Amino acid sequence: MSLTYVDRLLYFWFKMSAGPYNYSYIFKYIIIGDMGVGKSCLLHQFTEKKFMADCPHTIGVEFGTRIIEVAGQKIKLQIWDTAGQERFRAVTRSYYRGAAGALMVYDITRRSTYNHLSSWLTDARNLTNPNTVIFLIGNKADLDAQRDVTYDEAKQFAEENGLMFVEASAKTGENVEEAFLETAKKIYQNIQDGSLDLNAAESGVQHKPTQPGRTNLNNDSQTNRDNCSC
């Protein structure tokens, strides 16, 4: 009886996973940075073109997608927005693997979020592949009056560490599009000039669309324990 329903579901997943979308690549992005710097708002602004002022705290890893065009190629971005709380740090580290792009965000009105960048950068460097494009975003550029980090020092930090950099605002949308697109362009360029090996398991780029989820947080295959104690 319920066959049609199940069919529909299977069908739906088929569509979502391997539907005939007209894109050639999937790039995986992660967004990292301290809590409250506006990571989720940036993601939302990018996928929905809206500012979500009362964005709930991310407790986990949000997922968003959008199709963009780079050099005439359609590319699907799969974006993982991680929880910034220190206590989740150990868990969110699992999500770095296989990211083609990392957007590292601080809040220009809160110096502490800038000071923590080196620790985020260490994680990003250690946990992603050497070709992962890291893009630094100084968010909340609309709050210039409350600025606590100058553009120049951040720019210098970016240069010293070989990062791409903009100041952006998830509120006004300023430079948001640019940050995501520039990252994609850079990744695409890496593919074109051969420095990013698509066959490498952790390139973060897929040629064929596959299901977004099911990131195996672990190296080895999952042991589905039904019962942990006794």
Sequence-distant (≥ 6) Cβ neighbours of residue 193 within 8 angstroms: none
Q: Are 68 and 74 in contact (CB under 8 A)?
A: yes
Return the number of the residue (74 or 111) whose C-beta is nearest another protein: 74
Among 26, 30, 37, 108, binds ligand GDP (CB under 6 A): 37
- The residue from 30, 171, 179, 203 that contacts ligand GDP (CB under 6 A) is 171
Q: Is 41 in the site for ligand GDP (CB under 6 A)?
A: yes
The span from the CA of 106 to the CA of 39, in Å, is 9
Count of beta carbons in the 10 Å neighbourhood of residue 229: 4
Kindly state whether residue 84 participates in binding ligand GDP, applying the rule CB under 6 A.
yes
The residue (of 40 and 190) whose beta carbon lies closer to Mg ion is 40
Residue from 45, 58, 92, 129 binding Mg ion (CB under 5 A): 58
Select 40 or 169, whichever has its Cβ closest to Mg ion.
40
Considering beta carbons, is residue 58 or 128 the nearer one to Mg ion? 58
Which residue, 62, 114, 112, 66, is CA-closest to 92? 62
DSSP states along 124-141: HHHHS-TT-EEEEEEE-T
Binding mask 184-223 for ligand GDP (x = CB under 6 A): ----------------------------------------
Whose tokens are 């600025």? That residue is: 147
Q: Which residues contact residue 178 at a Cβ distance below 8 angstroms, ignoring those fewer than 6 apart?
A: 166, 168
Degrees to nearest 5, angle at CA 131 with 48 and 31? 30
Which residue is associated with the tokens 């790039």?
27
Q: Can residue 126 be called a binding residue for another protein (CB under 8 A)? A: no
The residue from 1, 3, 6, 53 that contacts ligand GDP (CB under 6 A) is 53
What is the distance between the alpha carbons of residues 212 and 214, in angstroms, rounded to a whole number?
7
36: enclosing H helix or E strand: none
Supply angle C-alpha 22, 78, 215, rounded to 5: 120
Q: Does 40 bind Mg ion (CB under 5 A)?
A: yes
Number of residues counted as binding ligand GDP (CB under 6 A): 18
Nearer to ligand GDP (CB atom), residue 82 or residue 129? 82
d(CA 224, CA 152): 50
Q: Among 121-129, 165-173, 201-209, 222-230, which window interacts with ligand GDP (CB under 6 A)?
A: 165-173
Binding region for another protein (CB under 8 A): 1-5, 8-9, 11-17, 19-22, 47-49, 59-67, 83, 87-88, 90-91, 93-95, 97, 211-218, 222-230
Residues that bind Mg ion (CB under 5 A): 39-40, 58
